[in-house]
Every structure is written in structure tokens, then in C-alpha cells.
Amino acid sequence: MTERQGSAERKLDRLLGEALGVRTDGTEYVPPSAGSAAAEGDDAEAAGEDSEEAEDDVGPHLAGGLLTSSAELWTLFVRKSARDARRSLLSSSLPSEDQDKQLRDKIAAAYDLALDRGGAYARDNHVLWKAYLSYVKSWVPPGSNPDQDARLHSLLGVQRAQLRKVYQRLVCHPMTGLDQLWTEYEAFERGQSEALATALIGEFLPKYQHARSVYLERGRVYNVHELRAGRLATPPVDWNLYSDGSGPASAVTPAGEGAAAGDAGVGGGSRAEYLSAMSEECAVLAKWRRRCGYERTNPERLSAAELGRRVRSAFKDCCAAFCRHPEVWHEWSQWELLHSSSSSSEDGAKAKSAALGLPKNALAAANVLRLARLHIPDSALLAQAHASILESHAVSGASSSGAGSSPPTSSDGGGGAAAVKAMADFCSAHGTTLGYVLWERLARRHG
């Protein structure tokens, strides 16, 4: 591999890691700190050196990047994982049969990882599921006779077990083409054993019917076209976008005060265009909120951990489409604050939250706000929300003294000090009148 190819491979790894939150080798992706060599994607060793520093700055990654609902990106992730696995086996001295087994296991693991980390809930999740099925079906070449080849006979048994596992997982997920996939699963089971097929089909038929009803109900609640999924994120509609920015926003005359709908605003901008764009943006945002609210009702009857991933996936989609709108980030952080403690149980997250003196739900909410401030660094709302979480939860997470513990103050190094420091950092970087007022209030309260 040439130096140019190696650089391109590292950049692709970085882009997939930022989008999906996981590396092709299955490890968690930690964004490198700004300005580091790893941030440029040109030094693999620097990435490892900067990961600890970056984790301190951004916190543990939120179970994936913001684009975990993209089936196309997960398909690319699997393709790259398969290519890397083939390259690693080129110099192997193992027998060809062992190499083939290792390759099958690595590619199947890549599919499972993609599905577990958001691909199963992607908008076009049927694309990923069908690709997984097609890959497993390719293990035994068509037209071969396993009865005359012991190796193929053994591989056929492994293939059938893997196909059954994939079919039984996918029929429980609402998706396009679910009826056809269920028909294929029935034919597959009946082709193995009629008695076993009767038992398994009877077990999974209610799950398939429920997934089908959820798919139809979800289509009545919202659809992808109304959500405009995949739209490029833009700043909130502002009057200055429809003018030359030389005058105040008050140039938009309220209706009923002598201004016609088509009056020109500052710099010749049309008031009608501004109001139309504002109305359209609010309508789309309301549909995204409706979608997130619907997923929180748990229509798929998921477990607590699975429901957390499902709702988090919906919030990620919303924030990807409206990443310049602070309110969507704030809503996501509030959901994490209320529900994250029951939606996940990773030991690493528990250890990290204990080390930072925050309960796990507060740590997850704070990480959402940190991520939000990377996109909207000058938002006083996000800075205040972050400081409020630190003020309310830092001491309770770091100490087990209970309800009788004294309020945090800046002198005890607890939540108050962390909140004051967070607002001070915000004001030093993006000072606004509101930011300084909030900082002053915190400083007086914990001074």
C-alpha cells in the first residue's frame, strides 16, 4: 500500500468513525482533540495518543455518531471491514479453509455490529438486512452437492443456523418488504423440518404481525418525505437572510400595522418569503418532534436498553437535520437526563461517570450538550443547560452522603465550581450579554 493509499484509508476510517461512532475493527471511535495530528487523519499513532485527551474534552461517545440511521453508511462500513479482513489474510500462513472461516466470521461480525449500533433501526434498514441474508446465502455455492463433500456439509449446517438467526431477528423489525421476508423465512423453515417449522413459525408469527402493524402505524404518524430526511442542516430562519443585514430585525412589520404581505424588508428582502420560510421550518420541526414523541411510547415493545437505543436514534436523526437549532439538542439532553440511567448498563460508562462525579444520566446529558456546542458554540441556552446539569448533579454523583449533604459551593470543588467554570469558559470564548448575566448569577450563588 502506497503512502497516498494509506492516507486515504485513515481518512476514510476517521470519516466513518465520526459518522457512525465505531471503527472498522469494532472499537469505539473517540474524536481526536482539535488541532492534533490525529484530527488531520494522517498519523495513526497520534490518534491513540490523543484519544485519552479527547475523551476528557468530549466525554464517552454517545453510542455512535449522528448518522447511525444511514443504511448506506453502514453498508460502506461492512464493505470496508470485509476488504480490511481480506487484506489481513493475504499474508496469513493458515490453511485456506481456516482463512475462509475467519473471513466469514469477521464479515458476519461486521454486519452484526452494524445492526446493533443503529443499522437495524435505519430508515432503509431492509437494505442492510437483505445484504446480510445475501452474504450468508453465498457461503455455499449454488449447484454444489454437500452430501458428497464433508466440508460443504459442515458449512451447510453453519449456514442454516446463521440464516435462521438472521431471519428470526429481522422479522421482529418494522421495515419495507417485511411480508416478502416473512414468506422467505416460512419457506426456509419448512425446507428444513416441517415439525420444527410449525413450532418456530408459531412462535415468531405474533412478533412478525406486531412488527407489521407498527410499520403501518408509523407510516400514518410520519413519513420520510414530510421529515425531509437527509436534508442539509441550515441555521434557523433569520430575517437577515432575506435582507442585506444592514438593519435590525424589527424592520419586519407585524401584520395589521400597515404592511402588506409582500412589502420589502431591510435591503429589499421580502417579508412574505421570510414568513413562509419560518412557517415551513416550524412545520418540519414539529413533525420531527412528533416522530421522537412517538418512538418514546415504545410501539415496538422493546426492552429498556433497546428502547434507549431506538429513541436515541430518533433524536440523532433530528439533530442531524437541525444541528444548528439549539432547542433540538436541549430536548435530547433532557431525555437523556430523565431516561439514560435505565436505557443502558455499560460498565465503561458507569466507571467514567463515577470518575467525573456525575451520575450516568447526567453524564449522558452533559455529553449531548458538549456535542451540541461543537455545532453551535455561541448558544447561551446550551451553555446554561450544561452548567445547570453540572450544578445539580456533580456533587450527588461524586458523593454518597445522601440528601443531607450541603449545597455545592465553588470552594468545595463540587458542582457549583464546575458550573461556574463552564459558564466562564463560554463567556471567554463567545461572550454575550445573556451569557455574562448567567455567569454572574452563578458566581454570586456559589461565590
User: What are the pLDDT digits (tens) for 398-434?
Assistant: 433 333 334 444 444 567 888 888 888 889 888 888 8
Using CA atoms, how far residue 61 sits from 91, 361, 371, 419, 442, in Å, is 34, 14, 9, 22, 28
Q: Is the pLDDT of residue 353 over 80?
A: no
Q: What local confidence, expressed as pLDDT, does residue 204 receive? A: 96
DSSP class of residue 230?
A: T
pLDDT band (50, 70, 90) for residue 241: low
Run of H or E including 322 = none
SS (H, E, C) 216-228: HHHHHHCCHHHHC
Contact present, 446 and 416 (Cβ < 8 Å)? yes
As a whole number, mean pLDDT of residues 363-383 equals 89
Confidence of residue 31 (pLDDT cuts 50, 70, 90): low
Question: Which pLDDT score, from 0 to 100, does residue 403 have?
Answer: 35
Question: CA nearest 318: which of 309, 328, 310?
Answer: 328
- Integer Cα distance of 65 and 275 in angstroms: 34
Distance between start and end Cα atoms, the chain: 59
Indicate the range of 47-61, 117-131, 170-184, 320-334 predicted with least confidence.
47-61
Dist. CA 332–CA 404, nearest whole Å: 31
C-alpha grid cell, residue 121: 433501526
Q: Where on the phi/psi map is residue 175: left (φ > 0), alpha (ψ -120 to 50), or beta? A: beta
Q: How confident is the model at residue 318 (pLDDT cuts 50, 70, 90)?
A: very high
Structure-block grid coordinates of residue 111: 454486519
Q: What is the spatial distance between Cα 287 and Cα 146, in angstroms, rounded to a whole number?
A: 53
The count of other CB atoms within 10 Å of the CB of residue 103 is 15
| Mean per-residue pLDDT of the chain | 80
Cell 479453509, residue located: 97
Over residues 27-32, the mean pLDDT reads 75
pLDDT band at 357 (very low <50, low <70, confident <90, very high): low
The pLDDT, as a whole number, for residue 411 is 43
Query: Which among 55-64, 174-183, 411-420, 427-436 has the top mean pLDDT?
Result: 174-183
DSSP class of residue 406 equals P
For residues 392 and 18, give the distance between their C-alpha atoms in angstroms, rounded to a whole number. 30
Q: Give the CA angle between residues 33, 36, 40 to the nearest 5°.
A: 105
Cα–Cα distance between 414 and 417 in angstroms, integer? Answer: 6
Instruction: Check pLDDT > 60 for residue 72.
Output: yes
Task: Please tell me the distance from the alpha carbon of residue 312 to that of residue 309, in angstroms, as a whole number.
Answer: 5
Q: What's the whole-number mean pLDDT along residues 20-41?
A: 65
Q: C-alpha cell of 169?
A: 431477528
d(CA 345, CA 364): 12
- Per-residue pLDDT of 113-162, as tens digits, reads 999 988 998 888 999 999 999 999 999 887 777 777 888 888 999 999 99
Task: Label residue 334 exposed, middle or buried (CB < 10 Å: 0-12, 13-18, 19+).
Answer: middle
Query: Measured at the alpha carbon of residue 407, what is the angle toward residues 356 and 329, in degrees to the nearest 5?
Result: 50
Is pLDDT at 268 greater than 70 in this prediction?
A: no
More confident of the two residues 30 and 409: 30
**Residue 341's pLDDT band (boundaries 50, 70, 90)?**
low
Query: Three-state SS for 79?
Result: helix
- Distances in whole angstroms, Cα of residue 205 to Cα of each of 173, 188, 192, 198: 12, 14, 18, 10
Q: Are 422 and 443 spatial neighbours (Cβ–Cβ below 8 Å)?
A: no
Measured distance CA(393)–CA(72) in Å, rounded: 39
Residues 274 and 268: beta-carbon distance below 8 Å: no
Q: What are phi and psi of 22, to 5 degrees?
A: -145, 145
Q: Give 175 or 1, the one with higher predicted confidence.
A: 175
To the nearest 5 percent, what fractions of the chain are helix, strand and coil?
70, 0, 30
The pLDDT of residue 392: 84
Contact of 353 with 398, CB cutoff 8 Å: no
Residue 447 has pLDDT above 60, yes or no: yes
